[in-house]
Amino acid sequence: MSQEQGITPRATDFSAWYNDAVMRAELADYSPVRGCMVIRPNGYAIWELMQGALDGMFKETGHRNAYFPLFIPQSFLEKEAEHVEGFAPEVATVTRAGGKDLEEPLVVRPTSETIIYDSFAKWIHSYRDLPLLINQWANIVRWEMRTRLFLRTTEFLWQEGHTAHATDEDAEREARRMLGVYRRFDEEWMAMPVLTGVKTDSEKFAGALRTYAVEALMQDNKSIQAGTSHHLGQNFARAFGVQFQTAEGGLDYAWNTSWGVSTRLVGGLVMTHGDDVGIVCPPRLAPVQVVVVPIYRSDEERAAVGAAAGEAARVLRAAGLRVELDVREGMKPGAKYYEWEGRGVPLRLEVGPKDVARGQVFAARRTGGKAPIPMAGLAEGVKAALDEIQAGLYEAARARREAATRRGVSKDELVEMMAGPGGFAYGGYCGGVECETAIKDATKATVRVLPDEEFRSSPAPARCVWCGKPSVIEAVGAKAY
Ligand SMILES: [Zn+2]
């Protein structure tokens, strides 16, 4: 990709478009280490805003941050049979350090259940110690052969919540509550519509009782998991001896949950809102929400325009907005526009001599549309425009998803849909793993979730899409990232 060529249109090659859009916005770069990526300042700034929003919500719901080691004794992973089986193929192991072979190899964390529950066993003694609500912000390593910037990399950043509870019901409530937090973040911050539900047994987290997930449809009609929350039951508590004295004086194992989202969400943001010009940041997650560009020809104009542009930037910053004032010399306004558009800045304010005379700025939305905003009441006008852009992005994404959703599909329709446009296919499901596997083999689609009640079809489908036996639950299938 070069500036002259522009970026690959989405319709031509969505995956090439994605890489071009990420590179043009300077969100990330390739690294000399295969499978790894460099997150550049523009990309990291989006992640920081995501972190800030999520961290606030975790703390509001009573969680505290902590940090556990990057290295996990190999024997820890082996204590939970399903867990080690699920993660073994993608684990990186340190066998030599300090100039000699290690007595016990150390695994580079692929997830931290084991090392965290080892600590929980030391910290939890009585029902009074519960619930224990911990979150960790960390990097994770899972060996990947085929990598995509943000979407699939050997090392990535995430948060992982880990909690312990006295009862099954408490753990269930927590797993559900955090799924709700992710949904709220996805919808209200990312402007990304989602559906929620439970994973089938074959798609659940290795070692969990149940896995809940939030799924969002990207513009190429493939689904991305945008948050996952696991009810771990007592599996890990048994493996690590997390026991507590109950209120009645007995002894019981704690009930655990874990839940997480990662830098993958940055990729989700790009694929939800981007257009053929590049990325589009929803205002609430835009590192730069407003860019102010002065436009002038003479030195005289420059003084007046510069003062007005500076004043506009000052007023907006004072109102708490993230503002960039672009006064770079020797660069035409058009070139500046091109750069800020590629970075997905939602609102550009142009200030020319005529605008100064009229006591206004000219607002150009990244999503289309231009209108003046009076300098008197500038902050209110800009905030209203940003709110409209945020809401508009959500609505556009929701409309795209609905257009790519089909309910009550037959076997033939499912095959046709997955061979063609893709999208969310709702259909009846007998609950048999044979049908799930056969669907995956034939269509490359997987069961994304067994949707929660509010997303289910009415009436419920009567027959399994694949085998025609009575349906026990509705399923949503899609190809996925
Ligand atoms: Zn079936």
pLDDT digits (tens), the chain, 481 positions: 444 457 999 999 999 999 999 999 999 999 999 889 999 999 999 999 999 999 999 999 999 999 999 999 999 988 887 878 888 889 999 999 999 999 999 999 999 999 999 999 999 999 999 999 999 999 999 998 888 999 999 999 999 999 999 999 999 999 999 999 999 999 999 999 999 999 999 989 888 999 999 999 999 999 999 999 999 999 999 999 999 999 999 999 999 999 999 999 999 999 999 999 999 999 999 999 999 999 999 999 999 999 999 999 999 999 999 999 999 999 999 999 999 999 999 999 999 999 999 999 999 999 999 999 999 999 999 999 999 999 999 999 999 999 999 999 999 999 999 999 999 999 999 999 999 999 999 999 999 999 999 999 999 999 999 999 999 999 999 999 9
- Of the candidates 295, 335, 260, the one whose C-alpha atom is nearest the C-alpha of residue 54 is 260
The answer to whether the bond into 333 is cis (omega within 30° of 0) is no
CA of 41 to the centre of ligand 1 (A): 48
276 phi, psi to nearest 5 deg: -70, -5
The answer for 20, left when phi > 0, alpha when psi is -120 to 50, beta otherwise, is alpha
Name the DSSP letter for residue 171: H
CA of 193 to the centre of ligand 1 (A): 29
CA of 466 to the centre of ligand 1 (A): 5
End-to-end CA distance of the chain: 24
Signed CA dihedral, 268, 271, 273, 279: sign only: positive
Q: Which helix (H) or strand (E) holds 253?
A: strand 251-253
CA of 404 to the centre of ligand 1 (A): 24
CA of 200 to the centre of ligand 1 (A): 13
CA of 427 to the centre of ligand 1 (A): 10
Question: How many residues in total does the chain contain?
Answer: 481
Q: Which two tokens stand for residue 439?
A: 């669907």
CA of 443 to the centre of ligand 1 (A): 15
CA of 244 to the centre of ligand 1 (A): 42
CA of 147 to the centre of ligand 1 (A): 33
Three-state SS annotation for 22-58: HHHCCCEEECCCCCCEEECHHHHHHHHHHHHHHHHHH
Give residues with Cβ within 8 angstroms of 110, minimum separation 6: 87, 90, 91, 140, 141, 142
Strand partners, 217: 223
CA of 408 to the centre of ligand 1 (A): 14
- Cα dihedral value 387, 389, 395, 400, nearest 10: -160
Helices (H), 319-455: 333-342, 353-358, 378-403, 411-419, 433-443
Task: Give the position of tokens 């993958």.
Answer: 264
Coarse DSSP helix, strand, coil percentages of the chain, rounded to the nearest 5 percent: 40, 30, 30
301 phi, psi to nearest 5 deg: -60, -40
The C-alpha atoms of residue 112 and residue 343 are separated, in whole angstroms, by 34
The C-alpha atoms of residue 356 and residue 167 are separated, in whole angstroms, by 65
CA of 199 to the centre of ligand 1 (A): 16
Q: What is the pLDDT of residue 4?
A: 47
Q: What is the pLDDT of residue 196?
A: 98
- Of the candidates 266, 365, 380, the one whose C-alpha atom is nearest the C-alpha of residue 321 is 380
CA of 470 to the centre of ligand 1 (A): 8
CA of 463 to the centre of ligand 1 (A): 8
Q: Which two tokens stand for residue 81?
A: 């049979």
Amino acid at 274: G
Q: What is the pLDDT of residue 274?
A: 98
Q: What is the pLDDT of residue 2?
A: 42
Question: What is each CA distance from 71 to 91, 100, 152, 173, 236, in whole angstroms?
Answer: 11, 17, 21, 31, 18
CA of 478 to the centre of ligand 1 (A): 17
- Give all strands (DSSP E) within 295-346, no chain letters: 323-325
CA of 476 to the centre of ligand 1 (A): 14
The C-alpha atoms of residue 340 and residue 348 are separated, in whole angstroms, by 8
CA of 465 to the centre of ligand 1 (A): 7
CA of 432 to the centre of ligand 1 (A): 6
CA of 434 to the centre of ligand 1 (A): 7
Q: What is the pLDDT of residue 5?
A: 57
Q: Which two tokens stand for residue 224?
A: 């991305």
CA of 442 to the centre of ligand 1 (A): 14
Name the DSSP letter for residue 461: P
